[in-house]
Structure 1
Amino acid sequence: MKFDIAAKLVLPSQRAFVVHAGRARVNYDEFVQNDIVFLEAPYLRLGDISLNSKGNVRRAIRRSIALRNHAETTGSQQPSELTKDYDDGTFQESDLQTLSGSVARLYGRAKKGDLVIVPGRDSYDGLYRPVIRFGEIASDFSASDIYDGNRLASQKVPFRKVRWLNVVPRKEISIRLERRIGKPPAVREIKIDRDSDELLRHAYDSYIFEGNSSSVVSADKYDAADFVVLNRASDLIAFLVSAHAVVSRNVGSPLSIGDIEAFTEQHFRDARVENIEVDFASPGYWRIFGASVSLAAFVALGIAVLSSGVPANVLASGIEVTNSVSPEDGTAKDLEKSMNLLLRSVDKLQLHKAVRTANNAKKAIGLQSSTKQTN
Structure 2
Amino acid sequence: MSTITVDLNSKVVPAAQKIWIVHPGRNRSHIDTFESAGVVFLEFPALALRPEIIADDSLLRQRIRYSTAVKANKGFVRDDGTPIHIADYPTAADTDVSVHLRTVKHLTTRMMAGDLVIVPGRGAGGAVLFGEVAGSFFPQKSIRAAGLPFADTPVREVNWLTKRSKLELPAHLVKFFEKPPAIAEVGRDRWSEGFFDFAYDAYSTDARSWVSLDAPQYDGSDILSLVPPAELLALAVSLYRAMEQRADLTGLDYDQIIARFYDHDALAEAQMRFQSPGRYNLKDKDAKLAKWINGFVALALAGALSACSNGDHIEFTNKQAPNDPANAELTAMINMAGQSAGGAVLTKAETQAQHAQSKLGMSAPATVR
What range is the shorter-chain TM-score in? Answer: 0.7 to 0.9
Equivalent residues in 2 for 1:150-299 (5 A)? 150-152=146-148, 155-250=151-246, 256=250, 258-269=252-263, 272-299=266-293
Tell me the CA shift for residue 149 of structure 1. 1.7
Tell me how large the CA RMSD over aligned residues is.
Answer: 2.9
CA distance in 2, matches of 1:147, 1:264: 57
1:1-375 equivalences under 5 Å are 1-49=4-52, 51=54, 53-62=56-65, 64=67, 72-73=76-77, 79=85, 87-93=90-96, 96-121=97-122, 129-152=125-148, 155-250=151-246, 256=250, 258-269=252-263, 272-310=266-304, 312-313=306-307, 316=310, 317-373=312-368, 375=369
One-letter code aligned to 2:77: T
Partners of 1:327 and 1:157 in 2: how far apart? 38
Once the two structures are superposed, residues 35-85 of structure 1 have per-residue CA deviations (whole angstroms, 9 ceiling, x without a partner) of 11011111112223264653343243245457777953298668469xxx9
Residues paired across the two proteins, number = 362
Q: Secondary structure at the match of 2:92?
A: coil
Aligned to 1:125: none
Structure 2 Cα separation of the partners of residues 142 and 315 of structure 1:
54
Displacement of 1:111 in angstroms is: 0.5
Percent of aligned pairs with the same residue?
Answer: 27
Structure 2: segments with no counterpart, 5+ residues = none
Distance in 2 of aligned mates of 1:45 and 1:368: 47
Aligned AA for 2:16? S
- Deviations 1:10-45, CA, capped at 9 Å, x for gaps: 222111111111111111110011111011111112
Does structure 2 retain, via aligned residues, the 8 Å contact 1:221–1:364?
A: yes
Q: 1:150/1:323 Cα in 2 relative to 1: closer, same or farther (>3 Å)? A: same
Which runs of no fewer than 5 residues in structure 1 stay unpaired?
123-127
For residues 359 and 161 of structure 1, do their structure 2 counterparts lie closer, same or farther at Cα, with a shift above 3 Å needed? same
Q: Matched residues in 2 for 1:293 and 1:371: separation?
A: 16
Q: Could you say if the C-alpha distance between residues 307 and 154 of structure 1 is closer, same or farther in structure 2, counting changes exceeding 3 Å?
A: farther
Cα distance in structure 2, aligned partners of 1:265 and 1:163: 45
Q: 1:148 to 1:242 in 2, by over 3 A?
A: same
State the TM-score, normalizing by the size of structure 2. Answer: 0.88
AA aligned opposite 2:273? D
Cα pair distance change 1:327/1:52, threshold 3 Å: farther
Cα separation, 2, equivalents of 1:244 and 1:303: 13
